[in-house]
Chain A
Amino acid sequence: MVDTKQFCTFYLDDLMFGVEVSKVQEVLRFQEMTRVPLANAVVRGLINLRGQIVTAVDLRRRLELKERPDNQLPMNVVVRTLDGVVSLLVDEIGDVLEVSEESFERPPDTIAGVTRQLVLGVYKLQESLLLILDTEKSVKIDG
């Protein structure tokens, strides 16, 4: 039997990322955020999630990618981390993919900088690469 895993996928600037399904609490469309002055720019703001206040982390900024165009509203991937629930802001939500462990590899050298640190590995799919995000590291932000 081939080992497979399921990932919730999303897109950031044409890159496809994935997070283990078990870590994802929910996926939402754009939610109004309250900005937090004096916070690291990576924290876009706070969201009211059914009465819970959740910090929203802009993954584009975290991965040091280009800024999202103004008219494009991000979507929310709400993940469970060791320190609580955090929402990751992404461009678009993709499907839940089941991938085989065989296609897993360590991050290739072609991926540069911050992305390399935050990516646990890569699955080689038929027509694309699925980058697996290290959720714990992504939400660790210095003040």
Chain B
Amino acid sequence: MDAEKPSQGDAEQPIAPDLTPNSSSRDEADGMEGVVNEFLVESYENLDQLDRDLVQLEQNPTEKSLLGSIFRIIHTIKGTCGFLGFSKLESLSHVGESLLSKLRDGELLLGPESTSALLTMVDAVRQILSCIENERNEGTVDYSGLIETLSRLTKGQLAGGKPTAPPPPAVPASAPEKVIESLSLAPVPATVATVASHEGMAPVKIDTRASDAVDDAVYRQQNPERRQRDERKTDVATASIADNSIRVDVSILDKLMNLVGELVLARNQILQYSSSTEAKDSGFVATTQHLNLITSELQEGVMKTRMQPIGNIWSKFPRVVRDLALACNKQVRIEMEGKDTELDKTIIEAIKDPLTHIVRNSVDHGIESPDIRVANGKQAEGCVLLRAFHEGGQVIIEISDDGGGINTERVRDKAVERSLITPEQAARMSERELVNLIFLPGFSTAAKVTNVSGRGVGMDVVKTNIEKIGGSVDIQNQLGHGTSLKVKIPLTLAIIPALVVTCSGDRYAIPQVNLLELVRLDQQVARGVEMIHGTPVYRLRGNLLPLVYLSKELALKQVVEKNLKDGDAQFIVVLQADDRQFGLIVEGIADTEEIVVKPLGKQLRGIKAFAGATIMGDGKVALILDVLGLAQNARVVSEVRDRALTDNKSADTKQATKTQNMLVFAVGDKGRMAILLDMVGRLEEFDRTSIESSGEQDVVQYRGEIMPLIYLSKVFHTTYKEQLDKPIQAVVYAEKGKSVGLVVDQILDIVDEEVTVKSNSNRPGVLGSAVIKQRITDLVDVREVIRTEIPNFYDQQVLALQGRS
């Protein structure tokens, strides 16, 4: 049977059943079809409302208005399903109604058992409705157990144990792929099953990299009612404020969105003609401007229609938290701020599951059991706080709990145990890095895999799904006090502002959301480019920025075959992906434009470097770069968060205390030494063949001067097995226009840490020792070393002789 029969977007009220006799029995059937569909849509809405109301009611068992509204809803359902001949549904809602009648009249008081039973009934009703929707019958599940429980409760008998749940029906195939794990305890399995059958489509769709337009098309095809229902939910939510809402079929909105997208493209083309026309017909230009304005406003308006308040997803959480807390024997309350924050519909779909998972994690792992909390001086009831707000073109969603926080020791041990990282890496990791280990696939610290969580599929999928829509996840953690997750997502997917760059004769678009700044790469700046571990880096206001050549990443020849050292300017586009910054070297920069993101075909979807394509103002196609994908390909953002190259000063940790940037290197086989990064002029590599000698001093020709080399391993009397085939690594220190190359055995790391130096005046050339990254490291007294090794370095005469500026 064709389920595609929405009510054409014109009904503010449910259509009364058409009872006029019809000559054609087909019309009759269609009429009934429509009525049943109406019933389903309204009932789903009502059930969601019931969920919310029941949970609220549990907190305020005598709240009259709630009781009244709940009773009315169930009464309505009972009435309609009786008329439509759904007998199972009728008997179920009948017994629920009886219970509610007694509650409403004050004969019984609502307790946790009754609430659970009623919630179970709500789930059962959903289950039956889903069967009606998909198979046009009420299904084969036996609800007599539930009915009996409800009857008993109605009679005031509380004994008899927990209400038995309806056995979950055969779970549809999409369920195992879901992010949400199923609960084994009473009220919840039905929820999962029914969630799976309606909403199971959503997580599966997330796997594809199509744009929302394509997703919507397929989605629409498969689940028209659900889309409609969601759309209507928004209207119902605001209807109480002003009855100025109207039900619109989502497919119409999608079509509008597409058309606006096309209009934006056409507008871009006209703008281009307008700016290039020789005649500069003022009438034409004026009209173009007008068109431009109108298009922008239209675009804004249509995008608004697709915006939904995040409260729509959040509304399910009170129930989720309640059920989960009950299951874990914890007390948890949920607080929400910023329910009205609006997001594009497709983004809401995409983040629903990740958010749910995070909330469940907070309850399950974060909040401790009441006795532990009290023992630690906390309130027995834990709190999960959800906050949403707009900031800087993005939507920020924070989920924090006041639980026990993440135990980074356990995290580290677990990660090593599962061979996700090596012990050496583990030893070098900072707190922040350790906390982020939970995002690795296959990670879970739950001692046993319960039905609630612990199956280890959680956080990495959450992160992936959020990143797929261009968002990011960040964790703040305080052991003993709680954890806070910050999810950042872009406001919209379809039309984005982008910077157009050129490389090897082609144009590429970079989404502005990833763009931090532009640096013109001329000869002067080019001198600032250094090499670390074989990667070019540029020092931007104290931070080292790894550089990536776009032409290299795309395996293209540079049209202009010049490297950095020549006269022509190129550009460094400073980008941010996943909280890491890097610089992308491109040949030219064009304008910033608003572009319509179009998905790439299946043949090209696997290329990580591209997020889609767009049509430029001149009608040609340009590819849109996927900044995160590009960064990962270039290995400036590694999967395992190895932070050897970039230093990230995060806002949370220890801003008050001073940290130092230090370069750590190996001297000899075991020694570790460090120099303040400020003292480091450059890091260079020299071929051994370029080492010459001047008297007894080894020197190299370096940038037009003769630079002496000091072998630190010799200075500090350590032995090191020299690798004679590899170039030497030197830290160039410059003072008063003269440079010295300090030869080290291996550059290890650049750290930004708070260092306390234990001064050690015994050893010459050493300022003191400190513990850096948990290893004892000596700080080199550079000036003293130079004074000792090259006595005439500071000699004025020699300066004059060298004749260098």
Contacts and interface: CB of A to CB of B under 8 A. Distances in A.
B603 A48 contact: no
B613 interface: yes
A47 B613 CA distance: 11
A5 B296 CA distance: 50
Interface string B589-605: 00000000010111110
Contacts of B620: 32, 34, 48
Interface in A36-62: 36-40, 43, 45-48, 51-55, 57
B604 A83 contact: no
Contacts of B598: 52-53
Contacts of A55: 600-601, 603-604
A34 B506 contact: yes
Interface in B616-655: 619-623
Nearest to B612: A53
Interface in A1-55: 32-40, 43, 45-48, 51-55
B621 A43 contact: no
Given A43-B604, A83-B602, A51 B615 contact: yes
Contacts of A57: 603
A108 interface: no
Given A36-B610, A37-B554, A51 B603 contact: no
Contacts of B603: 39-40, 43, 55, 57, 86, 139-141, 143
A89 B592 CA distance: 33
A84 interface: yes
Contacts of B265: 51
A90 to B, nearest CB: 17
B606 interface: yes
B548 interface: no
B601 A39 contact: no
Interface residues of B, number: 24
A48 B604 contact: no
A36 B621 CA distance: 10
Contacts of B606: 143
Nearest to A33: B621
Contacts of A43: 603-604
Interface centre among B506, B556, B602, B622 (most CB of A within 10 A): B602
A34 B622 contact: yes
Contacts of B556: 37
Given A35-B506, A46-B621, A51 B262 contact: yes
Contacts of B601: 53-55, 83-84, 86
A4 B604 CA distance: 37
Secondary structure of the B contact surface, majority rule: mixed
Contacts of B621: 33-34, 45-48, 53
B609 interface: yes
A63 B619 CA distance: 30
Interface centre among A35, A86, A139, A140 (most CB of B within 10 A): A35
B45 to A, nearest CB: 35
Contacts of B609: 37-38
A37 to B, nearest CB: 4
A131 B574 CA distance: 52
A35 B622 CA distance: 9
Contacts of A37: 554-556, 609, 623
Interface string B528-558: 0000000000000000000000000011100
B506 to A, nearest CB: 7
Given A38-B555, A46-B621, A84 B613 contact: no
B602 A84 contact: yes
Interface centre among B600, B601, B606, B613 (most CB of A within 10 A): B601
Contacts of B518: none
Contacts of A84: 601-602
Given A48-B615, A86-B601, A36 B262 contact: no
A79 B265 CA distance: 24
Interface in A67-121: 83-84, 86
B259 to A, nearest CB: 10
A54 B621 CA distance: 10
B599 to A, nearest CB: 8
Nearest to B606: A143
A32 B623 CA distance: 15
A54 B600 CA distance: 8
Contacts of A140: 603
Interface centre among B600, B604, B614 (most CB of A within 10 A): B604
A36 to B, nearest CB: 6
B607 interface: yes
A28 to B, nearest CB: 14
A139 B605 CA distance: 13
Given A48-B615, A53-B613, A53-B615, A36 B622 contact: no
A60 to B, nearest CB: 16
A39 B615 CA distance: 19
A46 B554 contact: no
Given A48-B620, A51-B262, A38 B607 contact: yes
A139 B602 CA distance: 9
B600 to A, nearest CB: 8
Contacts of B602: 83-84
A39 B620 CA distance: 19
B607 A39 contact: yes
Interface string B550-590: 00001110000000000000000000000000000000000
Interface centre among B262, B598, B623 (most CB of A within 10 A): B623
A36 B604 contact: yes
Contacts of A47: 621
B619 A36 contact: no
Interface in B506-528: 506
A53 B610 CA distance: 14
The 3 closest A-B pairs by CB, nearest first: A37-B554, A143-B606, A34-B621
25 contacts: A33-B621, A34-B613, A34-B620, A34-B621, A34-B623, A36-B610, A36-B623, A38-B607, A38-B610, A39-B607, A45-B621, A46-B613, A46-B623, A47-B621, A48-B620, A51-B265, A51-B615, A53-B598, A53-B613, A53-B614, A53-B615, A55-B600, A55-B601, A55-B603, A143-B603
Given A35-B506, A37-B554, 16 more contacts: A32-B620, A34-B622, A36-B607, A36-B610, A37-B556, A37-B623, A38-B554, A38-B555, A38-B607, A39-B607, A46-B621, A47-B621, A48-B621, A51-B265, A53-B600, A55-B601
